[in-house]
């Protein structure tokens, strides 16, 4: 072989080696990209940024008076009617300056931002005649509390797109004490209103506000898609009856993050319709991401699923949450007649403090809207994973009570440490099958790794989310 041939051979060898290295690097890069895509957390990682509206008006321009006494319902209605003319021109903003703005219920429009300046307080009227009556939601068939119609929410919208309720930490105060009294004295003829409710709407944002004293729910997106609730504070007295913070209801692509909620009943409650009405409407709640929230619920659960879940609840990811001073921490609720399902839920990195019952799944919880429910509509609860949970001053670790006709399956516990009194009953279980690893106190046999072969199922669930238990 001459010198030229030798050099050519060496060049080819070097080229081949470089090509192989480049190919390996490209392969590694493609794998890394794929892994990163799989490990992206959820809906909250893909939330859109807010764009300023090209047009803005002040509620003062429509005769509103911020003295806390003058009723401003007509001013809000007129302002929003005017701003409808900008829906095809990039949308508009309704600015609420500092002051106390008393109002009854009013409806928003698409491509609108309702902005509450710091020091601005929207006050809900305590006169029920200032709240419109509306038909019950079709997935419920009646009012939640009473048959028939219900009061329209204070701030509401139907079939909207691109609607924002935000501010510089302005306040929406429902002045709910009168509603609570009427509820407890059975004086109401219709179900109580909420503070903010959107129905059948898309691209909804609620952010940077304080919510006080809701008559019932604070924020209720129902039949909605692409919902962001961010950086809010919600407060109601611990004794306020069945006040709830945020209720994603038959909605999808929901992000709830960076918020503080302290209410009388559930802090966050996922729902999807009630018995035969929810089954017929058939709109599930799915793809929900909850993170970095601080939750307190005096008589309910910090995070609740159901019990109205007849349309189904699935693909829920909860992470980095602090639950404290609550009756229960995390609870799944259902009963015979509901139908539907709760499945593919991962809850990770949870801190609990001063909780009566840390974890629960109850198969006999909740009432029925009427006598027309189907007792053979049996709900399914499956693929529920709780990992990296630490709790102090816990009275009871968990209660998992499924249905004989449909046991709860694939209940997976990883790295759970709960401090409870030595004299307390730590776990109660029946009609449930699952797997546990590194759990203290020792769970019941139905959730013990030596009892079942569900370990592969549980690890498969974690891997499907691109997450792994930090054990």
Q: Of 16 and 340, which is predicted with more confidence?
A: 340
Helix, strand, coil shares of the chain, percent, nearest 5, are 20, 45, 35
Per-residue DSSP letters for 352-414? Answer: EEEEEEEEEEESS----SSTT--TT---EEEEEEEEEEEEEEEEEEEEEE--SSS-EEEEEEE
Q: What is the pLDDT of residues 273-307, one digit of tens each?
A: 999 999 999 999 999 999 999 999 999 999 999 99
DSSP H or E run through 466: none
Query: Distance (Å, rounded) from C-alpha 189 to C-alpha 325?
Result: 33
Strand partners, 361: 332, 400
Please state whether 297 falls in left (phi above 0), alpha (psi between -120 and 50) or beta.
beta
Q: How far is CA 332 from the centre of its chain?
A: 13
pTM here is 0.90
d(C-alpha 444, C-alpha 452), whole Å? 12
pLDDT of residue 117: 98
| CB-based contacts of 376, cutoff 8 Å, min separation 6 | none
Q: Judge whether residue 19 has pLDDT over 90.
A: no
By CB atoms closer than 10 A (0-12, 13-18, 19+), residue 427 is: buried
> Could you say which DSSP state residue 271 is in?
B
Q: Is the model's pLDDT at 469 over the cut of 60?
A: no
pLDDT on residue 454: 66
Q: What is the DSSP string of 390-403?
A: EEEEEEEEEEEE--
| Residue 200 confidence (pLDDT) above 70 | yes
What is the DSSP-derived secondary structure letter of residue 264? S
Give the model confidence (pLDDT) of 109-141 as tens digits: 999 999 999 999 999 999 999 999 999 999 999
Q: In the predicted model, what is the mean pLDDT of the chain?
A: 90
Q: Which are the contacts of 384, defined by CB distance < 8 A and separation ≥ 6? A: 332, 342, 343, 345, 361, 408, 410, 411, 412
pLDDT band at 10 (very low <50, low <70, confident <90, very high): very low
pLDDT tens digits along 412-455: 999 999 999 887 779 999 999 999 999 999 999 999 865 546 67
Tokens of 388: 């990296």
Task: State both tokens at 180.
Answer: 């609570």
pLDDT digits (tens, 9 = 90+) for 79-94: 999 999 999 999 999 9
Whether the pLDDT of residue 459 is over 90: the answer is no
Query: Residue 39: is its pLDDT beyond 70?
Result: no
Which candidate, 371, 36, 440, 44, places its Cα nearest to that of 226? Answer: 44
Strands 252-263, 233-235: pairing kind: parallel
CA gap 216, 27 in Å, rounded: 55
Q: How far apart are the C-alpha atoms of 321 and 85, rounded to whole Å?
A: 42
């Amino acid at each position: 072989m001459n010198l030229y041939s030798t050099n050519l051979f060496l060049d080819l060898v070097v080229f081949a080696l470089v090509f192989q290295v480049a190919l390996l690097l490209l392969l590694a890069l493609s794998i890394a990209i794929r892994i990163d895509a799989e490990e992206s957390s959820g809906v909250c990682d893909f939330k859109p940024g807010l764009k300023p509206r090209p047009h803005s008006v002040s509620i003062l321009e429509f005769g509103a008076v911020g003295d806390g006494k003058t009723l401003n319902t007509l001013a809000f209605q007129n302002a929003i009617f005017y701003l409808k003319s900008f829906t095809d021109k990039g949308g508009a903003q309704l600015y609420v300056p500092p002051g106390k703005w008393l109002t009854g219920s009013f409806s928003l429009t698409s491509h609108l931002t309702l902005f509450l300046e710091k020091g601005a307080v929207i006050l809900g009227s305590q006169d029920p005649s200032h709240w419109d009556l509306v038909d019950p939601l079709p997935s419920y068939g009646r009012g939640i509390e009473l048959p028939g119609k219900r009061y329209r929410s204070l701030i509401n919208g139907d079939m909207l797109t691109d609607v924002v309720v935000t501010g510089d930490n302005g306040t929406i105060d429902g002045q709910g004490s009168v509603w609570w009294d009427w509820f407890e004295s059975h004086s109401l003829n219709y179900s109580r209103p909420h503070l903010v409710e959107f129905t059948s709407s898309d691209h909804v944002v609620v952010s940077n506000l304080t919510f006080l004293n809701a008559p019932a729910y604070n924020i209720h997106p129902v039949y909605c898609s692409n919902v962001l609730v961010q950086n809010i504070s919600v407060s109601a007295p611990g004794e306020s009856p069945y006040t709830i913070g945020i209720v994603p209801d038959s909605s999808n692509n929901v992000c709830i993050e960076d918020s503080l909620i302290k209410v009388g009943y559930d802090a966050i409650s996922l729902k999807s319709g009630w018995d035969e009405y929810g089954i017929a409407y058939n709109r599930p709640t799915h793809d929900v991401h909850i993170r970095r929230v601080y939750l307190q619920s005096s008589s309910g659960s910090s995070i609740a699923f159901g019990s109205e879940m007849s349309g189904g609840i699935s693909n829920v990811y909860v992470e980095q949450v602090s639950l404290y001073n609550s009756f229960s921490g995390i609870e799944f609720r259902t009963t015979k007649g509901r139908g539907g399902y709760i499945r593919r839920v991962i809850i990770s990195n949870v801190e609990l403090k001063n909780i009566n019952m840390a974890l629960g799944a109850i198969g006999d919880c909740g009432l029925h809207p009427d006598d027309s429910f189907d007792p053979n509509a049996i709900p399914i609860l499956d693929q529920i994973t709780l990992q990296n949970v630490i709790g102090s001053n816990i009275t009871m670790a968990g209660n998992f009570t499924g249905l004989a006709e449909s046991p709860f399956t694939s209940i997976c516990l990883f790295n759970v440490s709960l401090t409870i009194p030595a004299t307390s009953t730590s776990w109660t279980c029946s009609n449930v099958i699952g797997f546990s690893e590194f759990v203290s106190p020792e769970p019941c046999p139905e959730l013990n790794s030596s009892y079942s072969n569900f370990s592969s199922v549980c690890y498969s669930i974690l891997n499907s989310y691109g997450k792994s238990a930090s054990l």
